[in-house]
Structure 1
Amino acid sequence: MMGVRVADEELRPRVIIVGAGVGGVATAARLAAAGCTVTVVEKNDFSGGRCSLIHRRGFRFDQGPSLLLLPQLFRETFQELGTSLEDEGVNLVKCEPNYKVHFHDGTSFRLSTDIAAMKGEVERFEGKDGFERYLGFLQESHRHYELSVTHVLKKNFYSLFSMMRPGFLRHLLELHPFESIYSRASKYFWTERLRRVFTFASMYMGMSPFDAPGTYSLLQYTELAEGIWYPLGGFHKVIEALINVGARLNVEYMFDSPISEIQLSGDGTRATGVIFKDKTRQPLTADVVICNADLAYAYNELLPSTNFARSLLKRQASCSSISFYWALDRKFPELTAHNIFLAEDYKESFDSIFKKHQIPDQPSFYVNVPSRLDPSAAPEGCDSVVVLVPVGHLHDSTTNSHKGSQKTAGVTQDWDTMVATARRTVLGTIETRLNISLGPHIIEEVINTPPTWKSVFNLDRGAILGLSHSFFNVLSFRPKTKHRSIKDLYFVGASTHPGTGVPIVLAGAKLVSEQVLRALRQEGRISSPRGALEGEKSNISPLDRLQKEQYLSWLQWALLILIMSACLLATSSMWHGNSINIL
């Protein structure tokens, strides 16, 4: 573990982290390891946020994420804290196959890291030449993956000028940010069936494959090259491990502690602590406040209202979901650990979600059976099943009701009816395509809806993945990790840079920790040594050093400056100058 050079406990910088989601607990452990006194305050009586668990009658369900991608980012987090996943009791098992994708015509496709198996599956539909095109898709998505990890996930974007880094700019066009995942996949796959197989993963970002930037084929790549993994005991095991690391470093965790606001100095220029909703509790003071609550909620409910705060409520958000958690009194081997059921009207189903904010007539949906990988998820002879049906987010940002209907701009969202429709459609689709009937065997059911996600986790519009990852919601356009005018106030989580998804938020926790430590060191408030927590690379043999990147040619510079100028003009037009922080 990295040593601490703060001689007196009382001289250590005091940090308050609002929210015990994955970003909050990871940042807490990192800053505690660097010599800070850290307190985490959480509104709920459990940790993990959407990465929490649901327990019913001996059945266990992952409330949110149910598959672990980009495992190296998880391993790096624990290595940089002087430990490992295994040492902290997190045992990962590999899913094989990755998914079984079911189509309306009764056919299926098995996605796998096994190259021989994929050769047979691809050639079954695309012919002999199809496998070569599949390798071309892997090559491109591999490039997207490596460039994104190096130049986006591990770099902070403090202003629009951060996008002018030569190392990033020379690769910008290779990331295909101005094309959709679907259009890029169509270059390599000539059947509509495989175009769907290799684009549905955009749902992980809460986006339509017809709108998500082509860069995000990296999600399919990491599944196909690195595999899909599952922590035995549930995804929350990762959160527990980070909490345990923090506890050894004297991080204090305060659950059942909702706050009403982030406390500011008298002149409103710096964050000084938090004020609890329970007015009988004394406010907590700190040198630094880091907010892991939903970003739009934090800006609009915990801080003074501003034009920028209000603009977040109008930004494009990810979708929401109706999620069913079913306890079954028997096993159904026809279902693998991860199952995708794709709608016949593929594009129309996404249009219903992202343009009409409704549930599609024929939804595509995901079925997870954790008991297939981990017997402890259900009693012997039984199955635990999680069904995620993507739906439009709430229209009204201020709505908190769990039931009933909402009508905004002429569009009605009747959640009781939509839940009933989703349940009936899911059970009917599974029965039709697999010839099994789950309904009579459901002995316990829990349901999460957009109003649930909003009320329990304070998610703006019930959007389960925060802000969208459209071009003007990423990189320098995405809300910053530090408040632009309030000193000592930082943000970590899905809606700030670098973006949504557990491994991405872990990368964000490292960026924020580095940013906080740099500021504390510059102000003389901490003297911890530089090291792994701030991204310092270990010594590398001259034989193993990579060749330095070459400078951009004048033609590349001219083209990229033209693109950036167009982005600036578009940004000015969209947000009228003051409503978005571009500098």
Structure 2
Amino acid sequence: MSKPQQRSAIIVGAGAGGIATAARLAKAGLAVTVLEKNSFTGGRCSLIHHEGWRFDQGPSLLLLPKLFAETFHDLGTTLEAEGVELLRCPTNYSVWFSDGERFELSTDLARMKAQIERWEGKDGFRRYLAWLREAHSHYELSVRDVLHKNFTSLRDVLSPTFVVTGLRIHPLHSIWSRACKYFWTERLRRVFTFATMYMGMSPFDAPATYSLLQYTELAEGIWYPRGGFHAVLEALVRLGERLGVQYRLSTPVKQVVTLADGKTVRGVQLESGEVLEADVVVINADLVYAYSNLFPQEQQPDLARYGRSLRAKAGSCSSISFYWSVRRKVPELQTHNIFLADEYRESFDAIFDRQDLPREPSFYVNVPSRIDPSAAPEGCDAVIALVPTGHLRDSRGFGPGTTTVKDDGVPRELDWPALVDRARRAVLETVAVRTGCGDLSESIVHEGVNAPHAWEAKFNLDKGSILGLSHSFLNVLSFRPRTRARGLRGAYFVGASTHPGTGVPIVLAGSRLTADQVLDDLGLPVPWRSVPSAILDQGVPQDLSTSKLDRLTPPRRGAVVAFLLLIVVWFALYVRYWRPVV
């Protein structure tokens, strides 16, 4: 009896989603090839090196650790077994204000209590706990009903069970509006809303659901992989290679090729002209870029129209990111630092309404060498400054140095080299004044920069949007571009701009959904379905029935009813016999 032919898959792009999906499909028995245009894996999660200094090009903190654990768990291993050491940051962030005040976000409840009560009084801490409870609900419901479910049609959103969930995660409220309910000072409203920068959104627009991000920081902590964030993806690459995944770097893809019907994937054509065939093609390149550049639009005019409609959708912000090799220590800076603009709302409006660099930007400064000394030579620091800015208005039709925005309805060009210089001055001056660390510019021996045009060119990010499509209400769930490609059988997506969304842990959860869908469509078993989910089961007590001390015994309903009846009887007797006579 002949052996059935092995199914094959091509993954276009070696970002977080592509690497994880490749390992999953290989574990399910497919022959998998990953094609990457750059000479390195990890995409935006890659590293930059300079003479002993090391920088994370993109993400620099690890959140939602259970989602990382789940990926390795599904593949039959653990982070620890694959040599990944996670370092817990003792302080989540130092938030620096222009008036000289600083707020330190921490998992330490006592420290949080003292700081919150300083600004909002005794009742402020009670309100903080109420906010934390709501954010916990957003977290648990989102993990269960969003991150582990593929929304393949509008019916999934309209189902009665999900409508109930939807009401509880406040998707129609903004993070800012919910924060105003619990925090009564402008200072703490800012402290508990700036995290929307993770999604490239304004806190005045981002759905309140995403308070789950700051919840996970406060409940589970912020972590840093020793050796840089890429260490996690490097481990997944090694794991995939053990399962048979082949990686071809410096291999750009020209287009997806189809069978004669124009509607079924046959494989891909490389820029070199070589054609590689496969049963399945999973796109980990930027989704908006892919629909406009990688799909056969001549055969399917609908794809061209859809590509244009995607480019018209709201995108996340871009960034001007500096990578500074500093020849001294800067002890005034923690691992993670946030510097908030005085004109808080205006700083976001400039980015998201006018696609510009704010006059006074809020920004993030990361010092990886504070938590991991291997990031810099002895006696030195590696410093990364990320300044959010508007994305490019049009990725086509303008030169490398300018783009066009509308200021009060009047078109004008942005001079990006000048904006990069302005952002650099703003960061250096603000850090020096607020922290008292002195002029860093005198100690910088080398500088690397990624601005919107660099993000676009290096990673094919449409308009330089570093986090893909926006997460506004009409850009999530069933409204977000789906994991199964439109109009092409055998083509799928994984990454920031498809469901469930952006951010490395969210993309890793998405790789599970995409791999499930691919295997279901091929009629193949899904290996990890028979294994309990690491994230859903973690924290559920074991069966300790051998010890009565550890047995879970919720209060009995009968006892509660009896207690209430006792109260009623006591009150009746009090009224009848003991109430003072007036």
* TM superposition score normalised by structure 2: 0.89
- Out of 279, 284, 288, the position equivalent to 1:287 is 279
1:409-440 C-alpha deviation (Å, 9 max, x unpaired): 50322101100000001001011111222110
Pair 7,312 (structure 1): closer, same or farther in 2 beyond 3 Å: farther
Task: Write the letter of the residue equivalent to 2:424.
Answer: R
| Structure 2, unaligned runs of 5 or more | 298-302, 546-550, 555-582
Pair 293,94 (structure 1): closer, same or farther in 2 beyond 3 Å: same
Query: Residues 63-142 of structure 1: matches in 2 within 5 Å?
Result: 63-142=57-136
Map of 2:146 onto structure 1: 152
Query: Residues 460-499 of structure 1: matches in 2 within 5 Å?
Result: 460-499=462-501
1:527 shift after superposition: 5.4
Task: Write the letter of the residue equivalent to 2:402.
Answer: S
Task: Write the letter of the residue equivalent to 2:518.
Answer: V
Pair 428,7 (structure 1): closer, same or farther in 2 beyond 3 Å: farther
Map of 2:579 onto structure 1: none
1:291-321 C-alpha deviation (Å, 9 max, x unpaired): 0000000000001142211100000000000
**2:404 is the alignment partner of 1:407:** yes
Task: Write the letter of the residue equivalent to 2:287.
Answer: L
**2:18 is the alignment partner of 1:21:** no
What is the alpha-carbon distance in structure 2 between the residues aligned to residue 159 and residue 306 of structure 1?
Answer: 22
What is the alpha-carbon distance in structure 2 between the residues aligned to residue 181 and residue 406 of structure 1?
Answer: 31
Pair 342,300 (structure 1): closer, same or farther in 2 beyond 3 Å: same
What is the alpha-carbon distance in structure 2 between the residues aligned to residue 399 and residue 62 of structure 1?
Answer: 31
Moved more, 453-462 or 158-167: 158-167
Map of 1:370 onto structure 2: 368
Task: Write the letter of the residue equivalent to 2:448.
Answer: V
Map of 1:47 onto structure 2: 41
- Out of 499, 507, 516, the position equivalent to 2:509 is 507
Retained in 1: the 8 A contact 2:482–2:493? yes
Pair 311,528 (structure 1): closer, same or farther in 2 beyond 3 Å: closer
Task: Write the letter of the residue equivalent to 2:186.
Answer: E
Task: Write the letter of the residue equivalent to 1:289.
Answer: V
1:7 shift after superposition: 8.8
Map of 1:206 onto structure 2: 200
**2:307 is the alignment partner of 1:309:** yes
Aligned to 2:129, the other structure's residue is in SS state helix
Moved more, 536-545 or 219-228: 536-545
1:165 shift after superposition: 3.0
What is the alpha-carbon distance in structure 2 between the residues aligned to residue 270 and residue 119 of structure 1?
Answer: 59
Task: Write the letter of the residue equivalent to 1:504.
Answer: I
Pair 209,286 (structure 1): closer, same or farther in 2 beyond 3 Å: same
1:405 shift after superposition: 1.7
Retained in 2: the 8 A contact 1:35–1:528? no
1:77-109 C-alpha deviation (Å, 9 max, x unpaired): 101100000011110011111000000101000
What is the alpha-carbon distance in structure 2 between the residues aligned to residue 274 and residue 175 of structure 1?
Answer: 41
Retained in 1: the 8 A contact 2:284–2:495? yes
Query: Residues 2-21 of structure 1: matches in 2 within 5 Å?
Result: 8=3, 11-21=5-15
Retained in 2: the 8 A contact 1:400–1:451? no
1:246-298 C-alpha deviation (Å, 9 max, x unpaired): 0001100000000110111111111111101112xx21000000000000000
Retained in 2: the 8 A contact 1:15–1:289? yes
1:189-242 C-alpha deviation (Å, 9 max, x unpaired): 000000000000000000000000111111110000010000000000011000
Aligned to 1:263, the other structure's residue is in SS state strand
Retained in 2: the 8 A contact 1:400–1:455? no
1:173 shift after superposition: 1.1
Retained in 1: the 8 A contact 2:495–2:510? yes
Larger radius of gyration: 2
Task: Write the letter of the residue equivalent to 1:397.
Answer: S
Retained in 1: the 8 A contact 2:369–2:376? yes
Retained in 2: the 8 A contact 1:368–1:387? yes
What is the alpha-carbon distance in structure 2 between the residues aligned to residue 529 and residue 379 of structure 1?
Answer: 44
Aligned to 2:447, the other structure's residue is in SS state strand
> Percent sequence identity over matched residues?
58
**2:292 is the alignment partner of 1:300:** yes
1:479 shift after superposition: 0.2
What is the alpha-carbon distance in structure 2 between the residues aligned to residue 314 and residue 259 of structure 1?
Answer: 24
What is the alpha-carbon distance in structure 2 between the residues aligned to residue 399 and residue 297 of structure 1?
Answer: 16
Retained in 2: the 8 A contact 1:80–1:532? no
**2:275 is the alignment partner of 1:273:** no
What is the alpha-carbon distance in structure 1 between the residues aligned to residue 399 and residue 531 of structure 2?
Answer: 42
Query: Residues 199-348 of structure 1: matches in 2 within 5 Å?
Result: 199-279=193-273, 282-303=274-295, 304=297, 305-348=303-346
What is the alpha-carbon distance in structure 2 between the residues aligned to residue 513 and residue 477 of structure 1?
Answer: 20
What is the alpha-carbon distance in structure 2 between the residues aligned to residue 429 and residue 505 of structure 1?
Answer: 34
Map of 1:384 onto structure 2: 382
Pair 534,142 (structure 1): closer, same or farther in 2 beyond 3 Å: closer
Retained in 1: the 8 A contact 2:27–2:527? no
What is the alpha-carbon distance in structure 2 between the residues aligned to residue 248 and residue 113 of structure 1?
Answer: 37
1:484 shift after superposition: 2.8
Task: Write the letter of the residue equivalent to 2:140.
Answer: E
Map of 1:356 onto structure 2: 354
Task: Write the letter of the residue equivalent to 1:407.
Answer: T
Pair 16,74 (structure 1): closer, same or farther in 2 beyond 3 Å: same
**2:170 is the alignment partner of 1:176:** yes
* TM superposition score normalised by structure 1: 0.89
Retained in 2: the 8 A contact 1:97–1:112? yes
Pair 100,535 (structure 1): closer, same or farther in 2 beyond 3 Å: closer
Number of positions where the alignment pairs a residue of Structure 1 with one of Structure 2 = 534
1:388 shift after superposition: 0.2
Task: Write the letter of the residue equivalent to 1:416.
Answer: P
Map of 1:459 onto structure 2: 461
- Out of 437, 443, 446, the position equivalent to 1:444 is 446
1:357 shift after superposition: 0.7
Aligned to 1:163, the other structure's residue is in SS state helix
Aligned to 1:349, the other structure's residue is in SS state helix
| Structure 1, unaligned runs of 5 or more | 1-5, 548-583
What is the alpha-carbon distance in structure 2 between the residues aligned to residue 103 and residue 35 of structure 1?
Answer: 54
Retained in 1: the 8 A contact 2:75–2:528? no
- Out of 502, 516, 519, the position equivalent to 1:517 is 519
Task: Write the letter of the residue equivalent to 2:365.
Answer: V
What is the alpha-carbon distance in structure 1 between the residues aligned to residue 234 and residue 314 of structure 2?
Answer: 32
Task: Write the letter of the residue equivalent to 2:28.
Answer: A
Pair 93,387 (structure 1): closer, same or farther in 2 beyond 3 Å: same
1:534 shift after superposition: 9.8
Retained in 2: the 8 A contact 1:514–1:533? no
Retained in 2: the 8 A contact 1:205–1:468? yes
Map of 2:426 onto structure 1: 425
What is the alpha-carbon distance in structure 1 between the residues aligned to residue 530 and residue 142 of structure 2?
Answer: 21
Task: Write the letter of the residue equivalent to 1:137.
Answer: W
What is the alpha-carbon distance in structure 2 between the residues aligned to residue 379 and residue 415 of structure 1?
Answer: 32
Task: Write the letter of the residue equivalent to 2:422.
Answer: T
1:43 shift after superposition: 0.4
Map of 1:576 onto structure 2: none
Aligned to 1:171, the other structure's residue is in SS state helix
Aligned to 1:310, the other structure's residue is in SS state helix
Q: How large is the RMSD of aligned CA atoms in angstroms?
A: 2.1
Aligned to 2:496, the other structure's residue is in SS state coil
